[in-house]
Chain A
Amino acid sequence: MLRYITFRLLGAIPTMLLIITAAFFLMRVAPGGPFASERALPPEIEARILAHYKLDLPLWRQYFDYLSHILVGDFGPSFRVRDFTVFELLKTGFPVSLKLGVLALIVAAIFGMGAGIAAALRQNTRLDYLVMSSAMTGIAIPNFVMAPLLTLVLGVYLSWLPVGGWNDGAIRNMILPITALALPKIAYIARLTRGSMVETLRADYVRTARAKGLRARLVVLRHALKGALLPVVSYLGPAAAAIITGSVVIESIFDLPGIGRYFIQGALNRDYTLVMGAVIVYAGLIISLNLLVDIAYGFLDPKVKYDR
């Protein structure tokens, strides 16, 4: 297992390099720059600003300059915000996005799996149909439709929950964003769990357990669940990635100071360093999550062995 992990981590390095290079050059290809604006700058001022941010150097030199700084953990200055470095901005934003994403994932996993298991155990009853049709709705409605709707009803009309803001991570402020983020995933996980559970319940080893006379609950929890969860666990990797990228929209809608918003604002402002920083964080996160999922898979499925 250790060899496998080491191998994967080493393999992540060229992946990251590729991502950084692609992002770097793609950003520069887009027309416009960080300092083009409604007011044209006199030439001496424009020259000074470009020189200050090294934008007057040839592109390949800027690239290697950036790489050399990244290697020592220096993400550079933001082109837009002068009083904070990119690292400081990411440092304040990352815990917010992480908290949001992890909680949304946990909520999605628990509720999704719970609903899916319940539906599978009561297959073809009213409960089953209720869960599955709700799931279909949850998958079909995009979260940027759901979120403002929830905000309007629960925040403006009923005043039960705040409309927006982070408020230092107060629970009240997290409820709506987490719901909006988790709902589509709950739906998907529920369907996935149900399907997988139904199949597993028909498997030979489950029939053996039942034949042995084990209590129904034990059959489900100890034996069937592990097998049924395999597809769900593999989905958790991409689900986490989807939640992370979905947070870009949710953070804008709910005014949350996470990294997702930096993506949008940074891209529109051509704040190259900020967007690069966000790309690196997201890429690192997704690579790590996929690795974790694969490791978890190895523990759940006795047929999977990573080391020869």
Chain B
Amino acid sequence: MKTRFMHYVVVGAIAFAASITGPTSLHAEKLLRIANMGEPASLDPHFVSGVWENRIVGEIFLGLTTEAQDGSIIPGAAESWTISPDGRVYTFKLRDQIWSDGVKVTAEDFNYAYRRILAPETPAKYASLLYTIKNAEAFKRGDTKDLGVKAVDDKTLEITLEGPTPYFLAQLVHYTAYPVPKHVVEKFGKDWIKPGNIVSNGAYMVTEWVPNDHIKAVKNPKFYDAAKVKIDAVVWYPGEDRAQAQKRLRANEVDICTDFASDQIELLKRELPKETRIAPYQGMYFFTLNTTRKPFDNKNVRLALSMAVDRDVIANQVLKTGEIPAYGYVPPNTANYPELVSASFKTMSQKDRDAKAIELMKAAGYTPEKPLKLTISYNTSENHKKISIALASMWKKIGVEAELANAEVAVHYKNMEEANYDVARGGWIADYNDAQNFLFLVATSSGKLNYSRYSSPEFDWQMAEAAVTTDLKKRGEFLKKAETIAIADMPMIPIYYYVSKNLVSQKVIGWKDTSRDIHRIRWLDLAS
């Protein structure tokens, strides 16, 4: 009786074990699996606003310009263009291209798209990126029907700008400037983006989206450059757990992780040295000071606080992922910018900086015995916490008693926009490769986004001059003067310039570090 029973148990166990070992099959198809760290809000380029969405939407649609393998700006849907002498009118000649359903891509698809995203009734969060187009802002408010975009004929698109905008071509790689298939949007309305309805002019077409599970896309055979596209299919996973994604890469279940937790760097350098990719990323991490509150309206107090920060310790001992200490607002390698601007105290040793800082604080009436009491606010994250703690301890010696306050990102940024803080952590990633995209953070006209509420007529004047200068070199000089003025006043304390963090399997071929961390799949290949 017993042995018969055991017999069944053993057979059952073997059968079960056999059923769970995966089938070995040979896939000729090259499938790229990406842990994308986020679920997109939509496939519609007008309703997304994140970098993780860019990774998907930017594969389906091709804008007038696009990113090359090294991240530089190259012709996309536009084959060539001419710019008027005053820098205000761009005339694009579109290449011969069809949507994946065979319909021709025309200038009207672009005209329609811009009018759609800028329409007053469209709840598009990022539409303001296109405010460089003539009348775009007024059009959005519903004050005018006259927009500076015209489809001259099927293959010619004319865009008129508010003023000369040297970074306009760089702006066009952003998804806010993508075309949408007019014939599909008009036919299906809100459902045009559902797999089955959606059509692409980009290298890939989305075939399925299981919410919260994965999005799959296959190579678009009608893409104008399809012959050069090597990867047949892509899958993006939306899970946000970085530790989990890292494990999946190690188990060969995904090929790319688009982020990893900084505190894993030691382990990664040991276990996955070839897969760990760190590169300079166009972004600046800072702590902003609320100049509407005393004593942050005192320039010397602000300078003292900035000087006492040991940025090398933060970069090398707290973060350890190769972040670059920052003494200015505009990151290195920014286009059309003469050179990196740094605060004058960069050349001083940290000991001297601390001494000077103590002096400045004393003059303002603060010593370790009579300290300045303030609150450092940051949004929830291990790194922000560590850095804030470091700041608090570095400031102790110059006469500051700091309390820490942490809030969720939504709450934190709301407080910053309403100038409801003392010292607050912030970060800014470039929307486009231009110094203006960083310096606007301290411009009077930026309103809510000027968290520090810094207002300098000299600074604003230099920025205004830059805005109307077409000569890129002269413009760069104006911007540089502006940054020099602002950094001397120190309304925000720059801490470091960002780095992009990726884990890339050794099977992936063609991955190049780019300053905006964009790696279009049409340039990649997979080793078999």
Contacts and interface: CB of A to CB of B under 8 A. Distances in A.
A32 B408 contact: yes
A195 interface: no
A48 to B, nearest CB: 5
Contact of A148 (B40, B43, B141, B243): B243
Contacts, number: 142
B457 interface: no
Interface in B373-423: 407-411, 413-414, 417
B456 interface: no
B274 interface: no
Classify chain B: how many residues form its interface, as a range. 35 or more
Contacts of A162: 251, 253
A239 B141 CA distance: 55
A84 B253 CA distance: 27
Interface string A2-26: 0000000000000000000000000
Contact of A81 (B42, B247, B248, B427): B42
Contacts of B447: 40
B19 A171 contact: yes
Interface string A139-172: 0000000001001100110010111111000011
A152 B250 CA distance: 10
Contacts of A151: 244, 247
A57 to B, nearest CB: 15
Specify which of B43, B250, B251, B427 lies most central, judged by the most chain A CB atoms within 10 Å of its CB. B251
Interface in B207-262: 209-214, 237, 239-241, 243-244, 247-248, 250-251, 253
B250 A156 contact: yes
A262 B238 CA distance: 12
Contacts of A81: 39-42, 211
B273 interface: no
**Residue of A81, A82, A175 with most chain B CB atoms under a 10 A cut-off:** A82
Contacts of A204: none
Given A36-B411, A44-B140, A164 B244 contact: yes
A185 interface: no
Contacts of A53: 123
A151 B407 CA distance: 31
A163 B253 contact: yes
Contacts of A37: 49, 125, 409-410, 413
B22 interface: yes
Name the residue in A41, A81, A92, A152 with the highest tally of chain B Cβ atoms < 10 Å from its Cβ. Answer: A41
A159 B251 contact: yes
B20 interface: yes
Interface in A44-60: 44-45, 48-49, 52-53
Contacts of B414: 31-32, 36
A269 B238 CA distance: 15
Interface string B445-469: 0011100000000000000000000
Nearest to B450: A40
Nearest to B409: A38
Contacts of A171: 19-20
A66 to B, nearest CB: 19
Most A CB within 10 A of own CB, among B22, B128, B244: B244
A39 B123 contact: no
Given A45-B128, A80-B41, A162-B253, A89 B247 contact: no
Given A48-B122, A82-B42, A165-B253, A255 B127 contact: no
Given A38-B413, A82-B44, A252 B213 contact: no
Given A36-B410, A81-B41, A155-B247, A172 B22 contact: yes
Contacts of A265: 39, 240
Contact of B212 (A32, A93, A161): A93
B41 A156 contact: no
Contacts of A83: 41-44, 193-194, 209
Given A40-B448, A49-B123, A265-B39, A255 B211 contact: no
A40 B212 contact: no
A87 to B, nearest CB: 11
Interface string A168-188: 000110010000000000000
A27 B408 CA distance: 14
A152 to B, nearest CB: 7
A38 to B, nearest CB: 6
A171 B122 CA distance: 44
B409 A164 contact: no
Nearest to B249: A163
Contacts of B68: none
A52 B123 contact: yes
Contacts of A191: none
A297 interface: no
19 contacts: A36-B414, A39-B126, A40-B417, A49-B125, A80-B41, A81-B211, A83-B193, A88-B211, A89-B211, A156-B247, A162-B253, A165-B214, A165-B237, A171-B19, A252-B239, A252-B241, A255-B239, A255-B248, A257-B213
8 A-B pairs closest in CB distance? A32-B410, A257-B213, A257-B212, A82-B42, A36-B410, A255-B239, A49-B123, A32-B411
Given A48-B122, A52-B123, 20 more contacts: A35-B125, A36-B410, A37-B409, A37-B410, A39-B126, A40-B413, A40-B449, A53-B123, A80-B39, A92-B212, A93-B211, A152-B247, A159-B251, A163-B250, A164-B239, A165-B214, A166-B213, A172-B21, A253-B244, A265-B240
Interface of A: 31-33, 35-42, 44-45, 48-49, 52-53, 80-84, 88-89, 92-93, 148, 151-152, 155-156, 159, 161-166, 171-172, 175, 252-255, 257-258, 261-262, 265, 268-270
